[in-house]
């Protein structure tokens, strides 16, 4: 890693440069082929994860809709409906995270074809840097994360409420959350 343009907590825009990766030492054709092969494998794995999560997301959405219909007729409990909604939201969050991973993996793969030095990694989304995994000067293996990104346009919170405080809490109720 030769440059890091973002740190934990920074807000980033889609296509904004996040880091510059340089390949140190002399790069042989075999090294380049190996880097491309590893980047391609990571990219394909990320795409496959998105495809699996997309199917799970479709199933979860259909299940939630089915339970809404059954709930309206009195055939399902409110807890069943809330469980289905929660499952859908969890899968949706994983799906969106997997899409970010695909974007980053594609950037790395493209970079192996475009140039050997000074590969600029750009943000695949508008969001915030949630975690920095690397430092300037650090050597990284292919597929290792450099920065973690979060899309704050699609955030949901799961919280536990003590039994003694549950009385005034209702499903769908708005709440102020402080971190």
Residue 144 has pLDDT above 60, yes or no: yes
Cβ–Cβ under 8 Å, residues 18 and 147: yes
Lowest mean pLDDT among 5-9, 91-95, 174-178: 174-178
Lowest mean pLDDT among 87-101, 111-125, 136-150: 111-125
Greatest mean pLDDT among 20-29, 81-90, 151-160 lies in: 81-90
Alpha carbon distance 77, 159 (integer Å): 20
Q: List the alpha helices (DSSP H) in the chain.
A: 29-72, 78-114
What global pTM score does this model have?
Answer: 0.54
Alpha carbon distance 85, 76 (integer Å): 13
- Give 6's pLDDT tier (boundaries 50, 70, 90): very high
Task: Give the pLDDT score at 73.
Answer: 92
- Give 51's pLDDT tier (boundaries 50, 70, 90): very high
């Amino acid at each position: 890693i030769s440059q890091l343009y973002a740190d934990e907590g920074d807000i980033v825009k889609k296509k904004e440069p996040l880091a510059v990766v340089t390949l140190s030492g002399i790069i042989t054709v075999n090294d380049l082929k190996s880097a491309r092969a590893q980047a391609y494998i990571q990219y394909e794995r990320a795409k496959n994860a998105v495809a699996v999560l997309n199917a799970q997301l479709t199933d979860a959405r259909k299940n939630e809709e089915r339970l809404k219909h059954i709930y309206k007729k009195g055939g399902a409990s409110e807890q069943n409906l809330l469980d289905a909604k929660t499952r859908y939201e969890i899968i949706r969050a994983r799906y969106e995270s997997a899409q970010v991973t695909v974007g980053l993996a594609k950037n790395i793969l493209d970079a192996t074809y475009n140039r050997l030095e000074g590969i600029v990694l750009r943000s695949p989304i508008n969001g915030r840097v949630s975690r920095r995994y690397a430092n300037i000067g650090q050597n990284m293996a292919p597929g290792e994360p450099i920065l973690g990104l979060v899309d704050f346009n699609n955030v949901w919170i799961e919280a536990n409420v003590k039994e003694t405080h549950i009385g005034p809490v209702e499903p769908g109720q708005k709440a102020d959350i402080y971190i």
